[in-house]
Structure 1
Amino acid sequence: MRITVLVYQSPYPGPNGATPGYLVETRAARILLDCGSGVLAQLGNHTPIYHLDALLLSHYHHDHIADVGVLQYGIMVHQLFSQRPTEKPLPIYAPAQPIANAQSLPYKQATTFHPVDEKTQMTIGDIQISFLRTDHGDGDPCFAMRLEASGKVLVYGADSGPHTKWKGFADGADLFICEGTYLDHNKPKEPKGHLSVREAAQLAQELACRSLMITHLYAEYEVEEVKNQAKAYQNGPCHIAQIGLQIEL
């Protein structure tokens, strides 16, 4: 399983940056996790959009879905150009709430919508996928994703606050992609549905994850400062998300 960081910034893209999106590839599947602002421009460096087997959306905040509309247009155009069969729309798996967001996902013959929740278990190609609702603060559902293929486990934490119940879902993951929205100097006194870099590192250590990627970073954060605040994680490699970073599991 190969994971490519297409983009990782939040809440908005910095210069030449973009907001979250990750490409997961195996011998039998290509799956896009989230589709933020600028994701498609980066995706084209790795695979044409008409080769995607599915899009999985964790939730509907703008930084995670901003490119969905242009992805729908793109798939439609590739169907018109006979590069993707019209009988093969791109399935989009996402929460059922808010309803208005969910209703926007089917588009002509290009895309279809498939609701997910914590009971959803599915297989795409050779990847088994399950979901966990995270603590994201505002009442609308946000789901982390567990992807398993060829004996390897990837957990994409999406947006998640300190009250997310990770036990039994992320324990021992070969790679835990975990948000580090805050640094020590700007972390709110009360939890706001996000983790700091330090909390992300501590969590991955407690869960005995075999490697960690810290993501969902503000564009002005310095890599060295992020690394310094992630020192609590000692179980394995600690990656700081960068555009184009690839990890093989």
Structure 2
Amino acid sequence: MRITVLGGCGAWPLRGEACSGFLVELDGFRLVVDVGYGTMPRLPSPDIDAVIVSHGHPDHCADLNPLLRARVLRAEPAPPLPVFAPGGALDAVLALDRPGMLDSGLDLHEFVPGDRFEAGPFRVETALLPHWVPNAGLRISAGGQVLAYTGDCGPSPEVARLARDADVFLAEASHLDDVPKEAVGFLSSATIAGGEAAQAAAGHLVLTHLFAETPPEEAAEAARSRFDGEVTVARSGLVLRL
């Protein structure tokens, strides 16, 4: 399994970066997990095989629109793209164009967090994690390898369960240590992510969705205060090989 970080910014993309998006490849199958602002131009090609969206906030799904446009509006349109998302999560982004314009390019599979499904060679287990909108945490496995991903969420016992013994644990770490009062229960921090990685006995913790004011180096150190394993901060272009 090969994982390429398309973007790891939280809320909006910083200069030269992109928001949440991850290209996961195995045996020629190309799965994209989240397609936030600025991720689509970082794909090697729009000819991917499937997309999973964790939740409906635009920093996780906005670039589904240009991705579908690139597949539908070219001289030889691509086949419908299987897209898996919680029910209703994509209503806003799919409404950006005139009704029906992109229908031929989309094969939408809506799921309820807690469902399991397959996407090519990948087995996907989902869980409802706490956020302002329904958010699906993901456990993606194939060939004995496991990638876990929180989307955006506050603390929950489900996080450690999804990430149990994961080779790579992609964890939202919007904040450094303390989460502001208005976001407690809905967002996480690098310190919290480190504790969850330790509880899950994950192999490699990758911090993602850092807000602009969260220093990456300090975030990594905060996570290491709770977790003895490898810690990396997600940046566009980072490649992880399992």
Provide the TM-score with structure 2 as the length reference. 0.90
The one-character-per-residue Cα deviations of 1:2-28 (angstroms, maximum 9, x if unpaired) are 111110101111112221110000014
Q: State the secondary structure of the residue aligned to 2:181.
A: coil
Counterpart in the other structure of 2:55: 59
Q: Report if aligned partners of 1:93, 1:113 keep a CA contact under 8 Å in 2.
A: yes
Give the C-alpha shift of residue 59 in structure 1.
0.6
Q: Report if aligned partners of 2:140, 2:147 keep a CA contact under 8 Å in 1.
A: yes
Alignment map for 1:36-185 (pairs within 5 Å): 36-43=36-43, 47-50=44-47, 52-78=48-74, 80-81=75-76, 84=78, 88-97=79-88, 100-101=91-92, 104=95, 107-136=102-131, 138=132, 140-163=133-156, 165-184=158-177
Q: Report if aligned partners of 2:173, 2:189 keep a CA contact under 8 Å in 1.
A: yes
Letter in 1 for 2:167: D
Give the C-alpha shift of residue 99 in structure 1.
7.8
Q: Report if aligned partners of 1:36, 1:65 keep a CA contact under 8 Å in 2.
A: yes
Give the C-alpha shift of residue 222 in structure 1.
2.6
Residue 171 of structure 2 is aligned to residue 189 of structure 1: no
Counterpart in the other structure of 1:33: 33
The one-character-per-residue Cα deviations of 1:119-177 (angstroms, maximum 9, x if unpaired) are 422222221111111111x2x31101111111011001111101352343221111110
Give the C-alpha shift of residue 56 in structure 1.
0.5
Q: Report if aligned partners of 2:21, 2:35 keep a CA contact under 8 Å in 1.
A: yes
The one-character-per-residue Cα deviations of 1:24-52 (angstroms, maximum 9, x if unpaired) are 00014110111111001111xxx2111x1
> Cα distance 1:15–1:222, how it changes in 2: closer, same or farther (>3 A)?
same
CA distance in 1, matches of 2:42, 2:154: 28
The one-character-per-residue Cα deviations of 1:86-143 (angstroms, maximum 9, x if unpaired) are xx2001100113583486598221112101123422222221111111111x2x3110
Q: Report if aligned partners of 1:54, 1:92 keep a CA contact under 8 Å in 2.
A: yes
> Cα distance 1:26–1:99, how it changes in 2: closer, same or farther (>3 A)?
closer
Q: State the secondary structure of the residue aligned to 2:35.
A: coil
Task: Structure 1: give runs of 5+ residues left out of the alignment.
Answer: none
CA distance in 2, matches of 1:168, 1:213: 17
Q: How big is the alpha-carbon RMSD for the aligned residues of Structure 1 and Structure 2? A: 2.1
The one-character-per-residue Cα deviations of 1:49-93 (angstroms, maximum 9, x if unpaired) are 11x111110011111111111111011034x325x3xxx200110
- Report the structure, 1 or 2, having the larger strand content: 2
> Cα distance 1:98–1:22, how it changes in 2: closer, same or farther (>3 A)?
closer
> Cα distance 1:134–1:27, how it changes in 2: closer, same or farther (>3 A)?
same
My pick for the range that moved more, 228-237 or 33-42, is 228-237
> Cα distance 1:101–1:164, how it changes in 2: closer, same or farther (>3 A)?
farther
Q: Report if aligned partners of 1:135, 1:164 keep a CA contact under 8 Å in 2.
A: no
Q: State the secondary structure of the residue aligned to 1:200.
A: helix
